[in-house]
Amino acid sequence: MDGLHDLGGKQGFGRVKYPSAPHNENWRPLVRALHAFAIESHIYNMDEFRHAIERMTPRHYISAPYFERHLTAIATLLIEKGIATREELESLVDGEFPLSGPLGPGRLPFAPQSFAIGETVRVKNEFVSGHVRVPAYVRGKTGTIVHVSTPTPFPDAAGHNMQAEMEPTYDVRFRASDLWPDTSDEALNHVAVFQSYLEKVEGA
C-alpha cells in the first residue's frame, strides 16, 4: 500500500539523530518479547505484523516511536484474530487504545518465472492496496540481478494470511541517478525484490 511507511527517497527529512541517546524504558523490551511470543505461537506471521504497522493512520505512524508501532500492530492483530476485543483492551488501560486501520484483500503470486544473475529486469509498475514489499522508488525501474535468495513466503499473500507458494527474491542493482535523476548522490542502490514483482526486459 502507498503508506507513509514507504519512506525511501522521501525529501524534507533532517539529520539522523546519531549516535542514539541511551534509554531506560521497560515497555520496549516487553513489547519485543510479546511480539516474539505471538510469532513463536503462530498467532500471526511477520508479513501480517508488518502490514498491521503499515495500516496505522499516517498521523499515528509518523508520530509513534518504533516500539509503539509494534505495540499497535500486536493489539490490532490480537483483535482481528479473535483473541481480544477493543473494549477489553480499552478497559484494561482505562482509556483510549489507538489501533491500525482495517485489513483489505491480499493477492496470490504470479506464475513462476526464472531470472539469472547478471540479467537486466524491470520492476512492474504496480499499485497494490494490500501488503507489498516493493518500495515505490523502484517501481517501473530497470536494474541488474546480483544475487538470488532461497524461496521465502510471498508477502502480498502471507500479509493477509493467505496460503501461497514461496518464491525466490532477487537483489537487484539500480543506479541512484536512474531512480532520482539529478537529485541524488551517486550510488548503486540494491533492493531485494520478490520474483512476482519482476518482469523480463525485451531485448536485454
Name which position in 7, 108, 117, 204 contacts other proteins (CB under 8 A). Answer: 7
Name which position in 149, 178, 201, 204 contacts other proteins (CB under 8 A). Answer: 149
Sign of the alpha-carbon torsion through 162, 201, 144, 8: negative
- Among positions 161-190, residues that touch other proteins (CB under 8 A) are 169, 171, 176, 179-180, 183-190
Q: Does 152 bind other proteins (CB under 8 A)?
A: yes
Distance from chain centroid for Cα 141: 19
CA distances from 168 to 5, 115, 192 (A): 24, 10, 10
Distance from chain centroid for Cα 203: 32
- Among positions 64-93, residues that touch other proteins (CB under 8 A) are 65-68, 71, 74-75, 78, 83-84, 88-89, 92-93
Name which position in 52, 97, 103, 107 contacts other proteins (CB under 8 A). Answer: 97
Single out the segment in contact with other proteins by CB under 8 A; choices: 105-113, 114-122, 133-141: 133-141
Q: Does 50 bind other proteins (CB under 8 A)?
A: yes
DSSP state of 196: G
Q: Does 95 bind other proteins (CB under 8 A)?
A: yes
Q: How far apart are CB 128 and other proteins at their closest, in Å?
A: 13
Of 120 and 152, nearer to other proteins (C-beta) is 152
Q: HEC profile for 116-145?
A: CCCCEEEECCCCCCCCCCCCHHHCCCEEEE
Distance from chain centroid for Cα 124: 17
Q: Does 128 bind other proteins (CB under 8 A)?
A: no
Q: At what angle do helices 46-54 and 27-40 cross, to 10 degrees?
A: 130
Q: Does 139 bind other proteins (CB under 8 A)?
A: no
Give the three-class secondary structure for 159: coil
Name which position in 58, 62, 165, 200 contacts other proteins (CB under 8 A). Answer: 62
